[in-house]
Amino acid sequence: MPNKPPLPPFSFETASQKVRLAEDAWNTRDPQRVALVYTEDTRWRNRAEFAQGREQVRQLLARKWAKELDYRLIKELWAFGEQRIAVRFAYEWHDDSGHWFRSYGNENWEFNAQGLMARRVASINDLPIQQAERQFHWPLGRRPDEHPSLSDLGL
């Protein structure tokens, strides 16, 4: 099994790197690419949906990004331990009717020795917003380094 650095045990610096790498991957909205950072037998809770294994995660992500259009995400490190990381996040998206949302949540991650995520538990809430209330305006893809963080935005 190939390594996916940074590897546990995590320091503040390596946990922060892991969070940014995850954010960057999710902002590609590429289910195949994103699924590769999870173990083959990964266990997920995403809202009220439970996924077991990398293939179910890939399918969940494909459904997610087919529904959540123009998706832009910011993740921020909340806490970390030797093999665990907790993040808070917000993302903006719209549905196929043009209604905008900002989704807020927390994730708890657990990694194996190779740096692959073995467990992800996410709690997410959706807030309807007006298009004028959007705060994530970079071109689709990776968030620019100079774009404010969640804390900078007061989120």
What is the average per-residue pLDDT within 7-25?
98
Residues 6+ apart with CB under 8 A from 37: 4, 22, 25, 116, 117
* Site of tokens 């123009």: 70
CB atoms within 10 A of CB 122: 16
Q: State the pLDDT at residue 2.
A: 85
Band of pLDDT at residue 20, cut at 50, 70 and 90: very high
> Which residue(s) pair with 45 in the sheet?
50, 121
Tokens read off for 56 = 């179910």
CATH of domain 12-136: 3.10.450.50
**pLDDT above 90: percentage of residues in the chain:** 99
Work out the average pLDDT over 2-10.
Answer: 96
Who contacts 23 (Cβ-Cβ below 8 Å, separation ≥6)? 73, 74, 75, 89, 143
As a whole-number percent, the residues of the chain with pLDDT over 70 amount to 99
- Is 1's pLDDT higher than 90? no
Q: In what order do the strands lie in the sheet with 38-46?
A: 49-52, 38-46, 117-129, 100-111, 84-94, 69-80
User: Where would I find the H helices in the chain?
Assistant: 12-26, 31-35, 54-67, 150-153
Token duo for residue 88? 């808070």
